[in-house]
Amino acid sequence: MPQTIGERRYVKQATRTTTADACDVHATVQRMLSEIETGGDAAALDYARKLDGYNGALILSRAQIDAACAAVPQRLKDDILFAQDNVRRFAQAQKASLTDVAFEMEPGLMVGQKTIPVDTAGCYVPGGRFSHVASAIMTVTTASVAGCKRVIACSPPRPETGIPPAIVYAAHISGADTIVAMGGVQAVASMAFGLFGLPRANILVGPGNQYVAEAKRILYGRVGIDMVAGPTDSLILADATADPFIVATDLVSQAEHGWNSPVWLVTDDAALAATVMSLVPDLIAALPQPNRASAEAAWRDFAEVVLCPDRDDMVACSDAYAPEHLTVQAADLDWWLDRLTCYGSLFLGEETTVAFGDKATGTNHVLPTSGAAAYTGGLSVHKYMRVVTWQRSTPAGARRVAQATARISRLEGMEGHARAADARLAKYFPHETFDLSADG
């Protein structure tokens, strides 16, 4: 039965959650990581041969890259170049927004920040059912623009043919220094542990299945990661002005990602909700397999349609979901832009769609899922940057700081810290007496 919460009514509710059997996945991934770390190249290669079913070269040579690039039709090359150029230019604008800073805190005391890119980025580009050309663009381009000294791209090879040529081309033109034909946990481990002659990755980025996501989660701390990602999710806010066919089409377009990819419609118009729900089954039925099966399961088990009393409640409902992708198909777009706060990426108006952002507009499609948009944003140039601080002082600039440090340190019981401050006061101001007790 649809649930009612206050004046908000769930016309369609999910019957399942996206929580996988986390214990089994964790145990499997932990065992694989331990075996690969201990066994090195041989263990990773064994997993690659067994799980990827590929016996070709793991590290692509320049000749292999050139051959793959030559196999990509020119029109597709043009499309990939268009998308990559948009991602590159947006990443450059993002980088320009994060600058070095230096200012005088008080006379004689200078403080500042520097932005320094990590040395090596490991970019995972999913394979499987889809050739994720766009993921190669999104991850490798941002790392290159950030200024990483080395960018590694790993993607699952197909048993007989290796990495699809379009992925190789996208990774190459986006700035990958090394392209590795390997997928899954073994690829993540190889980048993190520096196997096969690769430098150890300082950060691992990119989407992947639950095993890839769990490997990144386990390794976090030893290396940086962009985020722990779950199944992709999308929410549409729509009012009576929305086109039901466009809304339904957009919901189905995201449901095809996978059987456990939630899509949500939040609206204040009951007629729109009913029309959209009537359209979705036929739109799903028109998809080719296996996309159809994925969308059917996602819509049946995970989709929700929520009817709200007004647009203020629609905003509150959306922020509670904190969706990865948030689309607004409603009047007064600026009103929504000003009020919505929790989302990975926002698409305003029917002229935009998540599919555009996934592929070609320039904003990144590696985004927080499973409500993580409530506390973090998506992949950007900033994820590869270390914002570090520095300070420099004259003796006069240290005078007030040293006194405060000594007294606060003694209040905390950290006498060694206090004496580091005392020593400087004694050296720089030998003829002065200071009360440096905690209760002075």
Catalytic-role residue among 132, 172, 257, 325: 325
User: What is the structure's pLDDT at 4?
Assistant: 57
Enter the DSSP assignment of 7: T
User: What is the structure's pLDDT at 130?
Assistant: 66
159 vs 338, higher pLDDT: 338
Cβ within 8 Å of residue 24, ≥6 positions away: none
Catalytic-role residue among 172, 324, 382, 415: 324
How many CB atoms lie under 10 A from the CB of residue 388? Answer: 10
- In this structure, the dihedral spanned by the alpha carbons of residues 208, 210, 213 and 218, taken in order and rounded to 10 degrees, is -150
Give, in degrees to the nearest 5, the angle at Cα 351 between 140 and 143. 10
pLDDT per residue as tens digits for the range 3-56: 556 689 999 999 887 665 567 889 999 999 999 999 999 999 999 999 999 999
325 part of the active site: yes
257 part of the active site: no
First-residue to last-residue Cα distance in the chain: 68
- Does position 1 have pLDDT exceeding 60, yes or no? no
User: What is the structure's pLDDT at 3?
Assistant: 59
Phi, psi for residue 34 in degrees, rounded to 5:
-65, -45
Q: Tokens for 109?
A: 């005391």
pTM, two decimal places? 0.91
Mean pLDDT for the chain?
A: 94
**Given the structure tokens 């919505």, which residue do they identify?**
340
pLDDT per residue as tens digits for the range 326-349: 999 999 999 999 999 999 999 999
